Copies of this chain bind each other. A is one copy, B any other.
Amino acid sequence: MQKRTFASDNYAGVLPEIMEALQAANNGHASSYGADEYTAQAIEKFKSHFGDDIEVYFAYNGTGANVLGLSAITQSFNSILCSELAHINVDESTAPEKFTGAKLIPVPTTTGKITPEEITKRIIRLEDQHHPQAKVISISQTTEYATVYSIEEIKAISAVAKKFKLLLHMDGSRICNAAVSLNKNFASFTRDAGVDVLSFGGTKNGLMFGEAVVFFNRELAKNMKYIRKQGMQLHSKMRFIGAQFNALLANDLWKKPAQHANRMAKLMEEELKKIPSVKITQSVDANGIFALVKPTIIPELQKEHFFYVWNDQTSEIRLMCSFDTKEEEIRNFITKLRALSNA
């Protein structure tokens, strides 16, 4: 499929620089399972962004990174509070429950973000043996509505976590888009804002495969190597994950695809706003737009530009931009949408 779509940022392929890094790493033998120089260098790159006293474990995919990270910081009688829309709550089958044994407590949201107030209401019956014991708050940055928590919002959630001795997990499958949106470095809205464990996403920002679990408290990672292997997320030819992150985190390469994707989303937003029958439903903070369109035009619109209908009832659609979205594609989409809307 040559055509680019607004379906998902994982429909896009691999950044050329990442492809080159993979090529370059395909050079002779390398120790397997992470004992190679590419992996070592990639970890150093993470340290240059987050500080030295961290632990980094690579995994295959976002679900793997989330579930491994949550496994490392929970026991099976615990609960994990997260947005009712969280990827871990609705898009990872029952992997979190099956692997951790813990319960996910959905927190209601209209913006994708969860609030200290709504979280606090659900931290109940601590020390009561009959009730799942709250242990983790998990937030997504960007959220599933492509909104972005401010640093202050994250700190406020971290304060709740600290108050009740919980840990703060961040699903950062689109963390690069968030960093670009906030125009801040990674550490500012993760470790400095009180995050304990982070899933650092690569695939949605131009990698072929590979995500990272980053621990800002090394003690929390003490069993992580066993958890990762048990979680079927330990790659033998690890150098090929290491090499990708090595490239992505060097020379601000990570910024380029995220900036482009976010910019394309802004363009899309601006154009959509000009169409009276379209209503944008969420703040366009990063690379996704959610909008209400006339239900009748959706099938026709999808013929040329694939995207997902987020909510059948309201005919809310989701338009994701990626590192390779072209201005022209957006303009074509808008033209078509306008034509259909006026029909």
User: What per-residue 1/0 map shows which CB atoms of A43-74 lie under 8 Å from chain B?
Assistant: 00000000000000000111110010000000
Chain A's interface size range is 35 or more
Contact of A31 (CB < 8 Å), options: B11, B225, B237? B11
Q: Which B residues are in CB contact (< 8 Å) with A129?
A: 33, 93, 225-226, 228-229, 234
Is there a chain B Cβ closer than 8 Å to A209's Cβ? yes
Nearest CB of chain B from residue A238's CB, rounded to whole Å: 9
Contact of A28 (CB < 8 Å), options: B2, B26, B32, B93? B2
Assess the B19–A26 pair: CB atoms within 8 A.
yes
User: What per-residue 1/0 map shows which CB atoms of A228-250 lie under 8 Å from chain B?
Assistant: 11111111110010000000000
Is there a chain B Cβ closer than 8 Å to A187's Cβ? no
Is there a chain B Cβ closer than 8 Å to A1's Cβ? yes
Q: Which residue of B lies closest to A34 (CB)?
A: B129
The verdict on A94 contacting B77 (CB below 8 Å), with A29-B1, A61-B235 known, is yes
Q: Which A residues, 106 to 141, have Cβ-Cβ distances below 8 Å to chain B?
A: 106, 129-133
Nearest CB of chain B from residue A70's CB, rounded to whole Å: 12
Q: Which residue of B lies closest to A98 (CB)?
A: B101
Is there a chain B Cβ closer than 8 Å to A328's Cβ? no
Q: Which residue of B lies closest to A37 (CB)?
A: B1
Q: Which of A8, A61, A92, A237 has the most CB of B within 10 A?
A: A237
Is there a chain B Cβ closer than 8 Å to A36's Cβ? yes
Assess the B92–A103 pair: CB atoms within 8 A.
no
| Closest 7 pairs (CB-CB, A-B) | A77-B226, A98-B101, A10-B236, A93-B230, A64-B232, A2-B28, A11-B29
Apart from A1-B31, A92-B230, what are 20 other A-B pairs with CB-CB below 8 Å?
A1-B37, A2-B27, A3-B29, A8-B236, A14-B237, A22-B208, A29-B322, A61-B234, A77-B229, A93-B130, A94-B132, A94-B230, A95-B232, A97-B102, A129-B225, A130-B229, A133-B226, A204-B236, A209-B235, A209-B240
Could you name 10 residue pairs across A and B whose Cβ atoms are closer than 8 Å? A1-B29, A1-B31, A2-B28, A5-B29, A10-B236, A29-B324, A61-B234, A92-B229, A92-B232, A94-B132
